[in-house]
Chain A
């Protein structure tokens, strides 16, 4: 129903505008349609041009429009952005490297996101455990965090001397280089030296 009404309104406006336009250009009203002649009716005098223009402006909608053409610099900047500040085109990045450790790519002079994520997770867990353990007492010792089963591998007296040991309940993650931290020479071993073969 509403749509119909709107259509009607538009139709009406078109008609009135068209009449006014014709009047302005041609100087008279469009030719009248056929009708029955009646003695009572008299021809209306044509309205003056000025009032017609006023009617035209009063009926239609006028909007603000650009007065000047935008400069080429401004148009180009809007289109492509600024190369130093905010460039809108796609550009190849040349500052990406591949991590030697995990193979993910990272930004030059930054940390590798994959490696850093692992370290960060581990670190936050350590920090939580340490904070919980130490509490509000004065801290007077270095803290060592050990994984499950690590304490038995090292002699407690000599190695962690004067350090406070905090143990985690899980084993060391595999990405930690385990072999380098293990002691290989404990006393005299009876093993015979094996020469490496098939090298180079």
Chain B
């Protein structure tokens, strides 16, 4: 009856959040875990692309997404949001970046704000799975190669049109030759 809607309280993220957190190896306990996550969130806002262990990257992703979405929802005049940004971002010049660079960048996004890829493994070695975590719209070269086999790719559109024109030309030639034969 008098319950507030959950969507009013917490912004809905566009990534999948696991029902249970992932364990990070941390001798310092829960506080150490938070410190670790804080460090990586800060690094993500600073460098925009990181290579991390998969579990750490996956955990960090949720916190970073949440922070960005809160910043977009409430802006920099909202006290709790600013306090949260102050807690999660240790290098304070990045708080400016969050509200002045990332919020305008992600304002119109319909997708998630971060991307997570699985990094390649060195074959015979048995290692912990690595992953690449990045903010979308970063200034670096794209991680996934441009796909040239898609139908709407400009090369393919042009080639299709050229093929059509060529075929039409050929058909005209054929009809002409047929008519000439008939006339003879």
Contact = CB atoms under 8 A, between A and B. Distances in A.
Nearest to A176: B141
B87 interface: no
B163 A200 contact: yes
Nearest to B48: A127
Nearest to B161: A196
A122 interface: yes
B162 to A, nearest CB: 5
A126 B120 contact: no
Interface in A53-73: none
Contact of A119 (B93, B97, B121, B141): B141
Interface of A: 99-101, 106-107, 109-113, 115-116, 119-120, 122-123, 126-127, 130-131, 134, 136-145, 176-177, 180, 195-196, 199-200
A115 B100 contact: no
A112 B120 contact: yes
Contact of B165 (A106, A120, A195): A195
Nearest to A120: B51
Nearest to B46: A131
Given A110-B121, A111-B119, A122-B140, A200 B166 contact: yes
B94 A139 contact: yes
8 contacts: A101-B145, A110-B118, A111-B119, A139-B93, A139-B97, A142-B105, A180-B154, A200-B166
Given A109-B118, A127-B47, 13 more contacts: A107-B121, A119-B142, A120-B51, A122-B141, A139-B93, A139-B94, A139-B97, A140-B96, A140-B97, A142-B101, A143-B139, A145-B139, A199-B159
Contacts of B146: 177, 180
A113 B33 CA distance: 30
Contacts of B147: 100
Nearest to B147: A100
Contact of A111 (B100, B120, B148): B120
B71 to A, nearest CB: 14
Contacts of B167: 200
A111 B24 CA distance: 24
Interface residues of B, number: 38
Interface string B140-175: 111111111100001000010011011100000000
A134 B96 CA distance: 13
A126 B140 contact: yes
Given A122-B140, A140-B96, A110 B145 contact: no
A99 B149 CA distance: 13
A47 B154 CA distance: 107
Contact of A116 (B96, B120, B140, B154): B120
A195 to B, nearest CB: 7
B120 A139 contact: no
Contacts of B97: 138-140
Contacts of B47: 127, 131
Given A123-B140, A196-B162, A115 B145 contact: yes
Contacts of A111: 117-120, 132, 143-144
B119 A139 contact: no
A11 B135 CA distance: 79
Contacts of A199: 159, 162-163, 166
B49 interface: yes
A123 B47 CA distance: 9
B76 to A, nearest CB: 12
